[in-house]
Amino acid sequence: MTQLNVSIIGLGLIGGSLGLALGTADPKEAPLGRANIIGYDLDPRVTRAAKARLVIDVAVDSIADAARMGDIIIIATPVLAVREVMAQIAPHVRHGALVTDTASTKAQIVRWARELLPTTVSFVGGHPMAGAEQAGVEAANLDLFRGSVYCLCFDPHTRAEAVDTAFALAETVGAKPYAIDPAEHDTYVAGISHLPFLLSVALTELASRSPGWVEMRPLASSGFRDTSRLASGDPTMHRDICLSNTAALTHWLDEAGAVLAELRQAIAAQDGPALERVFAHAQQKRDEWLRSSPNVRPGEGTPLPKEDLQPLSLRSILLGRRRRRR
Amino acid sequence: MTQLNVSIIGLGLIGGSLGLALGTADPKEAPLGRANIIGYDLDPRVTRAAKARLVIDVAVDSIADAARMGDIIIIATPVLAVREVMAQIAPHVRHGALVTDTASTKAQIVRWARELLPTTVSFVGGHPMAGAEQAGVEAANLDLFRGSVYCLCFDPHTRAEAVDTAFALAETVGAKPYAIDPAEHDTYVAGISHLPFLLSVALTELASRSPGWVEMRPLASSGFRDTSRLASGDPTMHRDICLSNTAALTHWLDEAGAVLAELRQAIAAQDGPALERVFAHAQQKRDEWLRSSPNVRPGEGTPLPKEDLQPLSLRSILLGRRRRRR
């Protein structure tokens, strides 16, 4: 197996962590082998720092070089920069290359790829479901993706080899690939990832805007710490997420408002049984979620009907299973 | 120094952890010495389990015995049970005993103490700002309170020795005593402790009520885990908190609703600068909070005006400082 060249464009927390994980993988065990990592960042100091920290093997100072050199090109910039990067790499990408990204929203990204990338390359949208409050290549972490879900968005026309390569990439960084429709992805992720950020911001804002904040601050303990944790996340990245996933986010904000209004009503009416019922339901549902492995797909672990046991490509199995679920 | 008898009524997570910490304190170092722990729980199996786990030294099977034996009586039951416990212990408490509690709301508790406890004892309301999702004596943890803030509510008529004993108790379990007015306590704690619980419940509810939950569940990651953590808390305890701190909670729910409406408006209007501004403010405020020690009182660490340097009792210093702040 020849060593693959992986070009990473954007060397922040995610790009840097992918570089570390792919570039240090066990060549014998990893589905992708140990890749040769080519790194590019808009800020040349970041590219140099990534090289110095051995996050990448080769530093390049032009996005065209990164595009030319990669068998796989990973766009790991903020969401709204992906479009411009696609336009810039389009004239330079190798025939047969796999282009993927790491952005937190997918429908818009997939549309941009269709619009901008040449038909000689394959695009598979990617979203590794892992993160940290810290940003930047300094926070890059070899194990960031270990055990997490790695969403992959492709369609029936995507070449099977490209899909297999994207699966291998996700598995090589220790994640579990999860094929999902881009629109479904955006709706679901808005609910379980982006809305929690907004709730965390709302908590931090209402507390810190209060005239009593200076006296509340020393009382705030582990409950406040955990519920507000996401508010320490990167403001620009989250701005882009909100701007690129508007409909799903306003939907979930309305749902949040409805539940909070229900709770307010029960509290104002001193309705103990109603409060206890909701609290017990939430406790049960969260505990169920905690007990379920994050790596089990719905339906996994239960026997599949006969026709699924035919030898099929991984892609057609996953796409097929997804279609049946609808 | 003779060994003090500490009676703990209610042997859940908090009562059990206090028993462990007070009963294993270093007799030479701890301000309260190593106490002899008398334990009582409404459920005799819990009392027996606490004895078997060495959480308490002496198990008693009547609340009257617990009241009679304690130099200090700690009521560590759910909020709404405190009133009944006070009524039951009132005829039996020792002359000069300190009665305290651990409930998450304080104004109502202080009123009940005035109404129900004899004037021969002192009451100091207590709220150790620590917890865990796990409940019950099985989860009791020697170090639960280490480094956390321990709110204490008393008034100018409270005997100085009782206040000093309450401070010593908090310090013995490794916490930092924090004198606070009961009404202020309830307002502040509703914002930084009880509201986060409601936001956590709202998130868990809106996600788990959604038809897409079965497919969202495997995508939920560390952000969902932390923001929803408090929803795994005890439903009964939180019901009681909501019922005993209604005004403060509805106030903070309205504040939360206002910030969420502001965010929704900015998202719907695709107002990137407004979103980034709020997100950056929240990030800055949370990071400031993280950097500030939870054990520093407002004003602490800055030089006090001259008159504060007179020799005064701890109590009058703290009460005086609090009055000035108003």
Per-residue pLDDT of A264-283, as tens digits, reads: 999 999 999 999 999 999 99
The verdict on a CB contact (< 8 Å) between B256 and A260 is yes
- Give residue A135's pLDDT: 81
Q: Which two tokens stand for residue B10?
A: 């209610």
Q: Assign A320 a pLDDT band (cuts: 50, 70, 90).
A: very low
**Residue A293: closest C-alpha in chain B:** B218
Q: Assign A47 a pLDDT band (cuts: 50, 70, 90).
A: very high
- Give residue B132's pLDDT: 74
The verdict on a CB contact (< 8 Å) between B214 and A131 is no
Q: Give, in order, the Cα–Cα distances in Å from B1 to each of B27, B35, B98.
A: 9, 11, 17
- Give residue B199's pLDDT: 98
The verdict on a CB contact (< 8 Å) between A191 and B216 is yes
The verdict on a CB contact (< 8 Å) between A205 and B250 is no
Find chain A residues with C-beta within 8 A of B278's C-beta.
Answer: 201, 205
Cβ-Cβ pairs closer than 8 A, A with B, add up to 324
Arithmetic mean of pLDDT, A43-54: 95
- Give residue A293's pLDDT: 60
Q: Which of A241, A301, A30, A8 is nearest to A137 (CA)?
A: A8
| Chain B closest-CA separation from residue A238 CA (Å) | 8
Find chain B residues with C-beta within 8 A of A144's C-beta.
Answer: none
| Chain B closest-CA separation from residue A133 CA (Å) | 10
| pLDDT for residue A49 is more than 50 | yes
Nearest by CB to residue B250, choosing from A212, A236, A267, is: A267
Partner A contacted by B147 (CB < 8 A): no
Arithmetic mean of pLDDT, A95-106: 96
| Chain B closest-CA separation from residue A65 CA (Å) | 32
Q: Pairing mode, if any, of strands A72-75 and A5-9?
A: parallel
- Give residue B224's pLDDT: 94
| Chain A closest-CA separation from residue B305 CA (Å) | 20
Q: Assign A1 a pLDDT band (cuts: 50, 70, 90).
A: low
Q: Assign B2 a pLDDT band (cuts: 50, 70, 90).
A: confident
Partner A contacted by B207 (CB < 8 A): yes
Higher pLDDT, A296 or B49: B49
| pLDDT for residue B250 is more than 70 | yes
Q: How far apart are CA A224 and CA B183, in angstroms?
A: 20
Partner A contacted by B79 (CB < 8 A): no
**Residue B149: closest C-alpha in chain A:** A219
Partner A contacted by B251 (CB < 8 A): no
| Chain A closest-CA separation from residue B83 CA (Å) | 17
| pLDDT for residue A262 is more than 90 | yes
Helix (H, G, I), strand (E, B) or coil at B86: helix
- Give residue A134's pLDDT: 78
B300 in the Ramachandran plot: left (φ > 0), alpha (ψ -120 to 50) or beta? beta
Q: How far apart are CA A60 and CA A46, in angstroms?
A: 11
- Give residue A307's pLDDT: 35
| pLDDT for residue A322 is more than 50 | no
- Give residue A132's pLDDT: 74
Arithmetic mean of pLDDT, B110-134: 92
Q: How far apart are CA B197 and CA A181, in angstroms?
A: 33
Find chain A residues with C-beta within 8 A of B149's C-beta.
Answer: 218-219, 221
Q: Which of A14-23, A214-223, A273-282, B37-46 has the lowest mean pLDDT?
A: A214-223
Partner B contacted by A47 (CB < 8 A): no
Percent of chain B with pLDDT over 70: 89
**Residue B191: closest C-alpha in chain A:** A207
The verdict on a CB contact (< 8 Å) between B221 and A193 is yes
Arithmetic mean of pLDDT, B153-168: 95
Partner A contacted by B228 (CB < 8 A): yes
Give per-residue pLDDT as tens, B205-247.
999 999 999 989 989 988 999 999 999 999 998 999 999 899 9
The verdict on a CB contact (< 8 Å) between B191 and A214 is no
Give per-residue pLDDT as tens, B282-305.
999 999 999 886 555 554 443 333
Give per-residue pLDDT as tens, A166-203.
999 999 999 999 999 999 999 999 999 999 999 999 99
CA-based max dimension of chain B:
69
* Mean of the per-residue pLDDT values of chain B: 89
- Give residue A316's pLDDT: 42
- Give residue B222's pLDDT: 85
**Residue A226: closest C-alpha in chain B:** B226
Measured over the CA atoms of residue A192, residue A196, residue A199 and residue A201, the dihedral's sign is negative
Asked if residues A226 and B263 have their Cβ atoms less than 8 Å apart, the reply is no
Q: What angle do the packed helices A314-325 and A160-172 form, to 10 degrees?
A: 90
Partner A contacted by B187 (CB < 8 A): yes
| pLDDT for residue B319 is more than 50 | no
Find chain B residues with C-beta within 8 A of A148's C-beta.
Answer: 221
Arithmetic mean of pLDDT, A35-46: 97
Find chain B residues with C-beta within 8 A of A278's C-beta.
Answer: 201, 205
- Give residue B326's pLDDT: 34
- Is the whole-model pTM more than 0.95? no
| Chain A closest-CA separation from residue B58 CA (Å) | 32
Find chain B residues with C-beta within 8 A of A294's C-beta.
Answer: 218, 220-221
Give per-residue pLDDT as tens, B54-90.
999 999 999 999 999 999 999 999 888 999 999 999 9
Asked if residues A87 and A60 have their Cβ atoms less than 8 Å apart, the reply is no
Q: Assign A221 a pLDDT band (cuts: 50, 70, 90).
A: confident
Asked if residues B223 and A234 have their Cβ atoms less than 8 Å apart, the reply is no
Asked if residues A145 and A171 have their Cβ atoms less than 8 Å apart, the reply is no
